[in-house]
Each structure stands twice: as C-alpha cells, then as structure tokens.
Structure 1
Amino acid sequence: MRRFGTALAALVLASAGLAATATSATAASAAPASATACATGWGSTTKTATPTGYTPLKDIRTGSHACYDRMVFDVPGTGSDRIGYTVSYVNKLYQDGSGQFIPVGGGAVLEIRVAAPSYDPETGAATYPGRAGKPLPGVNLTGYKTFKDARFATSFEGDTQIGLGVRARLPFRVMQTGDRLVIDVAHSWSAAR
C-alpha cells in the first residue's frame, strides 16, 4: 500500500509539473515579443561634413523603422564625391537668404542643409519640386513615431535647406551611402523602443 501511495504522489507531482510547464509555455507565447534593441550614442549635437562637389538633388523620401524614422536625400551622380551637410537642432527655422521664418510642427526642429541644389546649376532648371514653406512633395508622415512635419525652406547658393519637425529633441545620425544622404532620428534616448 505504501508503494501505491508513493507512486500516486509521484504521479500527482509530475502532473502538476506538466501543468505548470504548459501554463508557463502558454503565458510565454501570449506575452509580447521582447523590445527591439536599438543603438544609442548618436547624440543630438550638430553634425557636419564638407562637400567635395555639388550635384543636384533629385528626391527626398522618408521611412519608419523599428528604432528610428529615416529621411533620405537622393543625389544621383554623386560618384565618389562626399555630399556636404549640416544638421542641427534650432529653436526656429529661418530661410537662408531672406531670413523669413518658416513654421515647422513638432516638439523640436532639425535644420538640414545639404550641399545639393534643387536645381541644375548649368541651366537653372528645377531638379526637385520643393516650394518655400510648403510640405515636402510626396512625403506623408502619418503614423510616424518621431517625424511630425517636413518643410522645404530654400535652395540657396548650392545648399538645399529643410526643416524637419520631430516629436522631441532626440538623438540622430547622418551618413552617406553611395549617392544618398541618410538622416535617422531615434524614437527615444533608451536602448529599446
């Protein structure tokens, strides 16, 4: 009888262990996926690069990613030239040349100057259809976590000036990949989204 009682007790404990394991597995599968690990350390200070040429701007487009929102300046024909830029947070956006104030929505404004005119320097013909103070053509920021507004300011003395409204003053990075200048603004300061 004692063996039967021990065997029964072992069976009950084993069943309880299987039930607990099944419950834990169900809870784990029902739990949300762990947060995406996001790079940190970009900082929010001014970032610059000196141009080695001035190739006309063709397009500006955006995309939303797990850790950041991205703006891409397409400058085809750049070749091995470095695309110059200055990207920095400003209190307000003022148009180069005229000094006219251009309102940009969001909690903070990134002023982006790219050494790529929105016109062909040889002919003066427009290569990018931006209009002063207006939203960027073809850019829809609905649903973005960080980007809130994007305004064309001007193309003056070889530089194109953009105002990018973001949710708050957040870390950003700037990099050139081939004939594209890429600006990523993080969704947060933390290492996870």
Structure 2
Amino acid sequence: MIRSRTVWVTAALVTATLGATAVPTVAAPAAAPRAAAACPTGWGSLGKTNSASTPGDYVTNARTGRHDCYDRFVVDVPGASAVQLGYSVRYVAQLIQDPTGHPIPVSGGAILEVIVRAPAYDIDSGTATYPGRVGERLPGVNLTGYRTFRDAKFGGTFEGQSQFGLGVRARLPFRVLQQDGHLVVDVAHTW
C-alpha cells in the first residue's frame, strides 16, 4: 500500500509538472499607443479685435508656452479685467512699427501682429513696466522646440497700446482669449 501511494504521488507530481510546462505562456499585452490629442478646429485665421481699453493698466510681461495642439503667447496686464482688455490680432505682410513706419524683421512663414491696448510704461511716472526693446526679440522668450512659433519681437508702445510680432511657421488658425490680467493668443500647429 505504501508503494502504491508513492507511485500515485509520483504520478501526480509528474503530471502536474508536465502540465505546467505544457501550458503556453501568453505575453502581456503591449501598452496601447498614446492617443493623439484631439485638437480643436475652426478657429480661423482672420483678424480678431476688441476695441475696449485698459485705463491705468500696463503691460508687465510677455511669455510663451507649448501645448499638444498649439503654441501660446501671453501678454500680462495686471489689474485689467477680461472685458477691459482691448486687442487687435491679425496676420500682416510685414510688422511695421507704429508710428515710425519702420519695418521690423520677423522670421517665419507668416507674421501675426498682436496689439494690446495697454502701454508698456507707467503713464503717471513714465517708467517702463516691460523690459522689451523695440525691434528686438522678447526678453526671456526662448522658442527652441516650438512647433509653430519661429520668432517673437517687440514693436514698442505708442498712444496707449503695445505692439508685438509673432513669426509663425505658416498662416495657421488662431484664437484670442481675454482673461483677467492676461491676453492669450493660441496658434494651432495644423489646420
């Protein structure tokens, strides 16, 4: 009886071992590829304006950011409410400094002129509130690695409004967002 039990246990162990090795291994499923971002469409490339004014408020900074679907340009105007923040954003053949009429070279396949209806200086003291220099690249802005933006220049301030030029890869759709203290311009990577 001991011998038959030993044979039975041995047979069970051999069967279990063979059965375990005979089970095919299944590879773990590969990670699903990251879905492409669903990018908005329908922004268009025609000029956009809001004739509101920002009395007593002024430009303090201009900056950029990269997103999955667009490159972003932001002009900071602290104290300005969204409804007071006036602007004009449009594609131009050349960035022309107001009021001199001098062209400012901007690299890229197309030029987007951004005018914010706020000066870049304190009206009461005459002190500059934004360190940009006319015709120069925007201070602190590095466009390396951007998909759409190629260049960003300061056009200066005249009669209570500040001018910027964005060099973009091509004439692409854009949108303008007014937020408290900020004007935001998003330029899509594609149509």
TM-score, with structure 1 as normaliser: 0.82
Residue in structure 1 matched with residue 182 of structure 2 by the alignment = 180
Aligned-pair identity in percent equals 56
Is the helix fraction higher in 1 or 2?
1
Greater displacement, 66-75 / 31-40: 31-40
Q: What is the one-letter code of the residue matched to 2:50?
A: A
1:100 aligns with 2:102: yes
Mind listing any 5+ residue stretches in structure 1 that lack a counterpart?
1-14
Q: CA deviation at 1:108?
A: 0.6
Taking structure 1 as reference, are residues 39 and 120 closer, same or farther at Cα in structure 2, changes over 3 Å only? same
Q: CA deviation at 1:143?
A: 0.7
Q: Distance in 1 between matches of 2:103 and 2:54?
A: 29
Q: 1:170 aligns with which of 169, 172, 178?
A: 172
Q: What is the one-letter code of the residue matched to 1:123?
A: S
Q: 1:85 aligns with which of 84, 87, 93?
A: 87
Q: Secondary structure at the match of 1:63?
A: strand
- Maintained 8 Å contact 2:148/2:188: yes
Indicate the structure (1 or 2) with the bigger Cα radius of gyration: 2
Query: For 1:10-25, what aligned pairs fall within 5 Å after superposition?
Result: 22=27, 25=29
Residue in structure 2 matched with residue 114 of structure 1 by the alignment = 116
TM-score, with structure 2 as normaliser: 0.83
1:90-144 CA-partner distances (Å, limit 9, x unpaired): 1111101000010000111001110010011111110001111100011111111
1:26-63 CA-partner distances (Å, limit 9, x unpaired): 3xx2x531211011110000000011433111111110
- Maintained 8 Å contact 1:53/1:81: no
Q: Distance in 1 between matches of 2:58 and 2:50?
A: 17
Residue in structure 2 matched with residue 124 of structure 1 by the alignment = 126
Q: How many residues align?
A: 168
Q: Distance in 2 between matches of 1:58 and 1:101?
A: 24
Mind listing any 5+ residue stretches in structure 2 that lack a counterpart?
1-22
1:138 aligns with 2:140: yes
- Maintained 8 Å contact 2:117/2:162: yes
Displacement over 3 Å in runs of 4+: none
Q: CA deviation at 1:179?
A: 1.0
Residue in structure 2 matched with residue 42 of structure 1 by the alignment = 43
Q: What is the one-letter code of the residue matched to 1:138?
A: G
